[in-house]
């Protein structure tokens, strides 16, 4: 099993859920109204008057065979609109119950 953490501009909200549904991933946890700034060339998403946009994030624990499909779909979205901001990280899950 893998943990996939996805941090993304709020504009992607429905689209990220659709990516998970496309690989039949039912379970996830979503956080909304998260502040941050990309480490490469991202603009701040701070939810204030100067930088009004915000991020959301999702954590999904998925079978290994779903990771590639999720990352490929997210990469395509990010390349289509790189200014919005979208990043995904994958960790191994040692145990769960």
Query: Tens digit of pLDDT for each residue in 65-75?
Result: 999 999 999 99
Does residue 97 sit within a domain? Answer: no
93 pLDDT higher than 80: yes
The enclosing domain of 52 has a CATH number of: 3.30.70.120
Instruction: Return the pLDDT at 87.
Output: 93
Does residue 63 sit within a domain? Answer: yes
Q: For the chain, give the number of residues.
A: 97
- The average confidence (pLDDT) of the chain is 90
Does residue 10 sit within a domain? Answer: yes
Does residue 46 sit within a domain? Answer: yes
Higher local confidence (pLDDT), 31 or 48:
31
Whole domain around residue 50: which residue ranges? Answer: 2-92
Confidence category of residue 53, pLDDT binned at 50, 70, 90: confident
Does residue 64 sit within a domain? Answer: yes
**Number of domains, the chain:** 1
Does residue 58 sit within a domain? Answer: yes
């Amino acid at each position: 099993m893998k943990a996939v953490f996805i941090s993304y501009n709020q504009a992607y909200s429905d689209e990220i859920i659709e990516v998970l549904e496309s690989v039949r991933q039912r379970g996830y946890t979503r956080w909304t109204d998260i502040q941050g700034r990309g480490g490469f060339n991202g603009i701040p998403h701070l939810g204030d008057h100067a930088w009004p946009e915000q991020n959301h994030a999702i954590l999904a624990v998925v079978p290994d065979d779903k990771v590639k499909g999720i990352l490929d779909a997210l990469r395509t979205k990010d390349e289509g609109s790189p200014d919005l901001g979208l990043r995904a990280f994958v960790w191994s899950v040692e145990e769960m119950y």
